[in-house]
Structure 1
């Protein structure tokens, strides 16, 4: 990966920044699993069932609707979108074909699995011991948003308002992925749709079609 990044001068690419931001999560998840040893409890993954496929097809449509509805609301209350150049802009894969192998390999096999293992696998796995399904989904989704808010605060070039925007904008996917995981108990569902949220700007496609 490092060789490809250097070869194609992709160091400042948002794709690479997203991948680099997940090293800590991978290390944390690995250390926790080695210490706890209960892999069956925290790492629930298998081949997709028909219900899983329904979720994989349906969730991007829901996120596309969110991408059209929520940003104008947040803008109306004065919250700025996180500033470009910080890794939170669109990945713009359609204009950077050299990013395709890095993006699709890194996002689907590294970045998305890392986040989903931490938030759905470990966090929800722990919450299940103390809360019912509703509590797990709500708390898990809120924690997902809070953590992205905190990451925004630590990201150079992102204002407090931009961090708050990012936190609120990620609560909805956190709740949805949390519920999907509770229903399917399959990290594959949330991993694939999480990676799709980064690499397939479906709401942009919908808006383009509506303009036509």
Structure 2
């Protein structure tokens, strides 16, 4: 996890990390539009399960392309290696911890009536197969793209100035903020949902710092999403 650029001040680094997140969203949106225009011309109904999943995949490709371009431009080395047996264990343990934390926080939010609505759950209620599609996309593109961008690029950028702990906290909050559109409800409920995602992001960031191998949080992220989507599917059918 090395960088050829010199250390910069905390304000400048924080602004840069936030700017990277905004630019990544812009690129993701543009890639989605590039996909959307010809798809609509060919008669694809974007409100169907297939249409929503393809649009989601396009946006994630945008995240990945932006992350790869930035890492190359800045000379940022992001270690992605086959995990050792011990690292596989870390990934499995991280998945379990993330699920326990998610359940615990969900119970806490419910106690204060802060559980937000979920766009994903609403789509899955209409067609439970949507949950299966989300699980598949999580493995193929969502986990790799989001981990490369937020743990590899954003966390790596923050680490230059804030060190491991600060970079994990900062990248987790930015990771959570990207999921604002996933939630509905009051402002307080949406913020609570974002903070829940940020908590998961902190676990993923800690795994990356601990193992120095992006594959570990990628596997954890994918497994976490698969378990949640699989549970939602079983509940819905």
1:163 equivalenced with 2:190 (yes/no)? yes
TM-superposed deviation, 1:112: 0.9
Q: What corresponds to 1:32 in structure 2?
A: 70
TM-superposed deviation, 1:54: 1.4
Q: What corresponds to 1:11 in structure 2?
A: 50
**Shift in alpha-carbon separation, 1:68–1:183, aligned structure 2, 3 A:** same
Q: What corresponds to 2:143 in structure 1?
A: 112
Once the two structures are superposed, the pairs formed by residues 143-162 of structure 1 within 5 Å of their partners are 143-148=174-179, 151-152=180-181, 159-162=186-189
| Residues 174-211 of structure 1 deviation map (CA, whole Å, 9 limit, x = unaligned) | 11111110011111111111111211139959xx9xxx
| Residues 13-62 of structure 1 deviation map (CA, whole Å, 9 limit, x = unaligned) | 5x5564344243123213313422x25x2x21101112211111101211
Q: What is the alpha-carbon distance in structure 2 between the residues aligned to residue 89 and residue 54 of structure 1?
A: 34
Q: Does the CA contact (< 8 Å) of 1:56 and 1:192 recur in 2?
A: yes
- Consecutive unaligned residues in structure 1, runs of 5 or more: none
Q: What corresponds to 1:176 in structure 2?
A: 203
Q: What corresponds to 2:102 in structure 1?
A: 67
Q: What corresponds to 1:142 in structure 2?
A: 173
- TM-score (structure 2 length as normaliser): 0.65
Q: Does the CA contact (< 8 Å) of 2:124 and 2:131 recur in 1?
A: no
Q: What corresponds to 1:133 in structure 2?
A: 164
- TM-score (structure 1 length as normaliser): 0.72
Q: What is the alpha-carbon distance in structure 2 between the residues aligned to residue 35 and residue 76 of structure 1?
A: 47
**Shift in alpha-carbon separation, 1:156–1:49, aligned structure 2, 3 A:** closer
Q: Does the CA contact (< 8 Å) of 2:80 and 2:215 recur in 1?
A: yes
Deviates more, 1:51-60 or 1:135-144: 135-144
**Shift in alpha-carbon separation, 1:173–1:67, aligned structure 2, 3 A:** closer
TM-superposed deviation, 1:157: 5.0
| Residues 128-165 of structure 1 deviation map (CA, whole Å, 9 limit, x = unaligned) | 211222222222223322333xx33xx68554234212
Name the count of aligned residue pairs: 190
Q: What is the alpha-carbon distance in structure 2 between the residues aligned to residue 170 and residue 163 of structure 1?
A: 11
**Shift in alpha-carbon separation, 1:203–1:173, aligned structure 2, 3 A:** farther
Q: What is the alpha-carbon distance in structure 1 between the residues aligned to residue 200 and residue 168 of structure 2?
A: 11
Q: Does the CA contact (< 8 Å) of 1:67 and 1:203 recur in 2?
A: no
Q: Does the CA contact (< 8 Å) of 2:61 and 2:141 recur in 1?
A: no
**Shift in alpha-carbon separation, 1:147–1:106, aligned structure 2, 3 A:** closer
